[in-house]
Chains A and B, each alone.
Chain A
Amino acid sequence: GEDVEQSLFLSVREGDSSVINCTYTDSSSTYLYWYKQEPGAGLQLLTYIFSNMDMKQDQRLTVLLNKKDKHLSLRIADTQTGDSAIYFCAESIDTGKLIFGQGTTLQVKP
């Protein structure tokens, strides 16, 4: 079945880059997503990438996609304390459902 795996925790210092990694299983996924969840709130779409792209950059965010290895990463440049949150990787499967990973808690130390 479909599965999305992420590491559970990442700690960085303010100003450093953060890299959050994800692997997925469904090679037919058309879009892959990064959602962000702040404490006490719902998930919010951070960015997404179409499966025929290998990179997407949006200000401090860079998404890299390796379709061969089914590996997705999110790089946050110049990480700030406000970036502290849980980051979820998700893939869209052919039914239109989203399959989410367990989420990576990013802790940013001042």
Chain B
Amino acid sequence: DAGVIQSPRHEVTEMGQEVTLRCKPISGHDYLFWYRQTMMRGLELLIYFNNNVPIDDSGMPEDRFSAKMPNASFSTLKIQPSEPRDSAVYFCASSAGLAGIISYNEQFFGPGTRLTVL
């Protein structure tokens, strides 16, 4: 398996533009997570899905952020309109089961998308 695939790897956009980040999880994994990493706030969980259904979006910062998972092999994280404070590295991760429930259930991370909003 190629692992978790994210695109684009780098995105530079101007304030006010729409940004769409994409993720392909590992085949067979039923959980998909979106994280954001910044120097100030560290690694934050934004939202996660189980079998394509959003389970917990309490980490989504505001209505400008939305995430979808139309099928088991694809998810998007959209920011509209983007702001400079959204600049961060966004990671997608997938797992077969939830961490610590029954088993340790490793989360496999993609390489991340570095977003810069000017």
Contact = CB atoms under 8 A, between A and B. Distances in A.
Interface stretch (B11-19, B62-70, B80-88, B100-108): B100-108
Query: What is the size category of the interface that chain B forms with chain A?
Result: 20 to 34
Interface residues of A, number: 25
B57 interface: no
Q: Looking at chain B's contact residues, is the secondary structure mostly helix, strand, loop, or mixed?
A: loop
B43 interface: yes
A9 interface: no
Interface stretch (A16-24, A40-48, A62-70, A73-81): A40-48
A42 B4 contact: yes
B97 to A, nearest CB: 8
Interface string A74-109: 000000000000001010111111101111000000
B118 interface: no
